[in-house]
Structure 1
Amino acid sequence: MNITRENIDDLNAVVKVDIAKEDYSGKVEKILQDYRKNANIPGFRKGHVPMGMVKKQYGKAVLVDEVNKLLQDALNKYLTEEKLDVLGNPLPKEQENFDWDCENYTFEFELGLSPQFEVSLDNKKPITHYKIVAGEEMINNQITHIQKQYGKLVTKEVAEEGDVVAGTFINEAEGIESKTSLPLEKLKGKKNLEKFLGAKVGDTISLKTKGLFEDDHQLMDFLHVEHDKAHGLDIPVEFTINEINKQELAELNQELFDKLFGKDEVKSLDELKEKIKEDAAKQFKQQSDQQLLNDVTESLIENNKFDLPKNFLQKWIRTVGEKPLTEEEAKEEYEKSETGLRFQLIEGKLIRENKLEVKFEDLKSFAMDRIREQMAQFGQMNPSDKELEDIAARVLSNQEEVKRLSEQLMNEKLLNFYKENIKLEEKEVTYEDFVKEIYK
């Protein structure tokens, strides 16, 4: 067997594989001998079928199968030994007048080669690294939410702003009869709210579903209509009040603080606000880091230009799916995936050159940290190392979980690498300002 390569240019090559009879004949002969021993053909005793008949019936299929196996093994070995970094898979070139009745064969494959480039981390303009904090409004809203959660409902006779009314939405024609509790603060617009103010138990209020809530999806919650029906629903409904309750807020005292955070962990309103701010910062860190990853990705793609074997990749895309694509469809798929492919090449090079590997011990430690965090959310604050290790062992026995955690850990390693090596500019913003700035 002989394998040669012709480089068409820096990104494309053709590999030629010459297979001679002596490369495959021994294996083919052995397989046919085995077929002969086990063949059940009418008129012949088992093991005494003439070899000529066996070859006539099975010879071509066995030959094709063995040559293809030999070809794939040789090609894979060649790519590994030559350390060729290819994109996609080798594509066999069409050959006119190919004849399996010949004893020697030649096969040619097109290769798309990975581009050679150096990754530049030099971004002229610093990338913004957001430090997201809870603003005063968010902190106060969270305190009110806590007071409501730990407060109590007090029954009353007349509805006022801020009350919760229990009752039934009805529209007989649409088959709607939905019992619900409706916080008046959920209503959209003054006109809808004013219909409830001063109302008493037993009163029936006429409403329109259109514009009743800020979001039509809330019709699913309060009227129990299906998702598709809720969008743009414009029908009259009547709401009969069965009960009126006022939400009495819990008092901000030491008893509540201890219930929330443990004995004497928080002792004043100011400490409560600081605690809420700290907890919010932990939650916002994930969003901040994800945004940094997004912005770094865009910067790396913008600052690292290189060519790709475009024509080869489009040809490969045509053949790689469950069904062949047209040239136009393959071109569209390539354009959709080109940016992602470029970043994969950049990221892969950074990982290799900076040895950002995921070792098993790192993965185990990472898994234990995640498990510890999850247990803390359910009040298990001090699990033993053995308990954590046992759970981690079960998690890491699942290949899907290993893949998921490995990706998360690699993202964390890359994020730390970017923070140390890319020019960043920290900017403190409230969550509201962050959303406005990112999604403007």
Structure 2
Amino acid sequence: MATITQEKIGPLHEKLSVKLEKADYLPGFEKSLKEYSKKANIPGFRPGKVPAGLIKKMYGPSLFMDEVLRSIDKEVLGYLDTNKVNIFAQPLPLENDMSRLDANNPGDYDFHFEIGLKPDFKMLDLAKTDITGYNIDITDEMINEEVERLQNRYGNMTDKETVEADDNVVNVTFTETDAEGNEIENGIKKDNSLLVKYFAPAVRKELNGKKTGDSIQIQLGTAFEEKELDFIAQDLGLNKEEAATKDKTFKLEITKVGLLEKRALDEAFFTQLYPAGDVTTEEAFRTKVKDEIYNYWAAQSRNQIHDQLFHKLVDDTKIEFPEAFLKNWLTTQNNQPQEGGEPQPAKTPEQIEAEMPSFLNQLKWTLITEKIVTDNGIQVAPDEIRDFARQQLFQYMGGAMGMTDDQPWVNDYIGRMMKDRKYVEDAYNRLQSQKVFEWAETKIKPKATTISVEDFSKMVSEHQHHHH
């Protein structure tokens, strides 16, 4: 009978010693030798007639080692299972000397492993945590801007001879030049369509009266104000934070002049945007636009609450980890070749040390999630994954094609996705995580605070910088 003893190495870090007796593995070894001699294919012998001694000589050592390791594995897993030992990852072998395994001289063997124990911890009492719920202030100005954006987006363009006003649209080609106005070889060349009012006042003056085919010279930093420079620079593939960007000079050739006529706020326009036909007046239209803006920001606000919950749970839940074991485990892991890839170069102890904090944070979140899921019986059913796949498909297709489930290709597609193991795992994790947050939301009483869109966006983006 194999015997297993367990002793402490450090915090949540234990050593398992397995004493394997001859009787534990020998019958298995002899059986596998027999199996082998039945099917071994050795030139000069008929199958099944190979002398046992030859089989043992050729295959003995590797079959012997396999059988010993299999018995060890079985014993260790059985022990952990019987004693309800909850471990991270898997047991790691400690200095086990394989050279002493001798098929011709079977004996008792000692094997040693280290294990990292999963900690018990107390769940944070969410009812007592401070969470802020941001009510984002939807201003008339935001509604006006959105209405105007829609009017322009669906507006009609008419061609014009010359540039006459700030609301004219010019199609231009940006061609990068040197300071003297000579085209730079392999420089930036990009078409764009801009309202005249996007340019700085001095350039607007210069554009006035110009026709298709005319061109002007500009310097980026002086031709546009900050806000416009942002999106022009981005469009040209430049970084507006770099000083050199503002100094760049371009030739702008006008390829077309047009006048954008805003769509009138009439029933035809409302029905085009909302085909259900429930929007017939400007007032109803503005209400609808406001609802859409509101829903968008309400969703952002809810994500922000989830973010606060995540940080509270991770930062304020005390969990001890078997750090020494986890470092050893990471060290063995990172020398494994990735699935279907090249072996990764081994990480240095310094790299592993540096990655520990973020690794432990992820592990912490995994344990907290597991606990919430177990304690509250949170489940994700296969049907929910199918629904998730269906919604993703409909969103991707824009939902505008009158798609319904009775179209066979929809079900074929979903059936295919459900066979894709990676997709199902990802969907499962996303849905589970969503349910964990929904559960957490029922436990909190957020303090409501009204905030402007600018302040809210600034807060979110600063928070993200701070994290990545």
TM superposition score category, shorter chain reference: 0.7 to 0.9
SS across alignment from 2:457: helix
Q: Which residue pairs with 1:379 in the alignment?
A: 400
Shift of 1:10: 5.9
Q: Which residue pairs with 1:290 in the alignment?
A: 303
Shift of 1:261: 0.8
Alpha-carbon separation, structure 2, partners of 1:169 and 1:334: 49
**CA shift digits 1:127-153 (9 cap, x unpaired):** 012344543222212111111122112
Alpha-carbon separation, structure 1, partners of 2:110 and 2:12: 23
**2:2–2:20 Cα contact (<8 Å) kept:** yes
Q: Which residue pairs with 2:440 in the alignment?
A: 418
Alignment TM-score, normalising by the size of structure 2:
0.81
Question: Unaligned 5+ residue runs, structure 1?
Answer: none
SS across alignment from 1:246: strand
Shift of 1:30: 2.9
Alpha-carbon separation, structure 2, partners of 1:301 and 1:369: 31
**1:2–1:18 Cα contact (<8 Å) kept:** yes
Once the two structures are overlaid, the 10-residue window that deviates more, 23-32 or 361-370, is 361-370
Cα distance change on mapping 1:88 and 1:183 into 2, 3 Å: same
**CA shift digits 1:99-157 (9 cap, x unpaired):** 11252211111111011111022464520123445432222121111111221122232
Q: Which residue pairs with 1:363 in the alignment?
A: 385
**CA shift digits 1:285-318 (9 cap, x unpaired):** 4422322221101111232112111111111111
**CA shift digits 1:74-114 (9 cap, x unpaired):** 32333233322212321111146961125221111111101
Alpha-carbon separation, structure 2, partners of 1:169 and 1:230: 20
1:144-159 matches, within 5 Å, as: 144-156=148-160, 157-159=162-164
Question: Does the alignment pair 1:138 with 2:170?
Answer: no
Shift of 1:396: 2.7
What count of residue pairs does the alignment treat as equivalent? 436
Question: Does the alignment pair 1:28 with 2:29?
Answer: yes
**CA shift digits 1:43-81 (9 cap, x unpaired):** 655544433232222211111122222222332333233
**2:167–2:197 Cα contact (<8 Å) kept:** no
**CA shift digits 1:371-400 (9 cap, x unpaired):** 56666x432468357877666444433333
Q: Which residue pairs with 2:342 in the alignment?
A: none
Alpha-carbon separation, structure 2, partners of 1:216 and 1:428: 29
Alignment TM-score, normalising by the size of structure 1:
0.86
Alpha-carbon separation, structure 2, partners of 1:284 and 1:86: 43
Q: Which residue pairs with 1:349 in the alignment?
A: 371
Identity over aligned pairs, percent: 28
1:23-102 matches, within 5 Å, as: 23-41=24-42, 47-95=48-96, 99-101=100-102, 102=106
Question: Does the alignment pair 1:163 with 2:164?
Answer: no
Partner AA of 1:173 in structure 2: I
Shift of 1:262: 2.5
Question: Does the alignment pair 1:203 with 2:214?
Answer: yes
Shift of 1:413: 1.4
SS across alignment from 2:184: helix
Once the two structures are overlaid, the 10-residue window that deviates more, 34-43 or 89-98, is 34-43
Question: Unaligned 5+ residue runs, structure 2?
Answer: 178-182, 337-344, 463-468
Alpha-carbon separation, structure 1, partners of 2:440 and 2:53: 68
Partner AA of 1:182 in structure 2: S
Q: Which residue pairs with 1:6 in the alignment?
A: 6
Once the two structures are overlaid, the 10-residue window that deviates more, 85-94 or 228-237, is 228-237
Alpha-carbon separation, structure 2, partners of 1:59 and 1:391: 51
SS across alignment from 1:379: coil
What's the C-alpha RMSD, in Å, of the aligned pairs?
Answer: 3.3
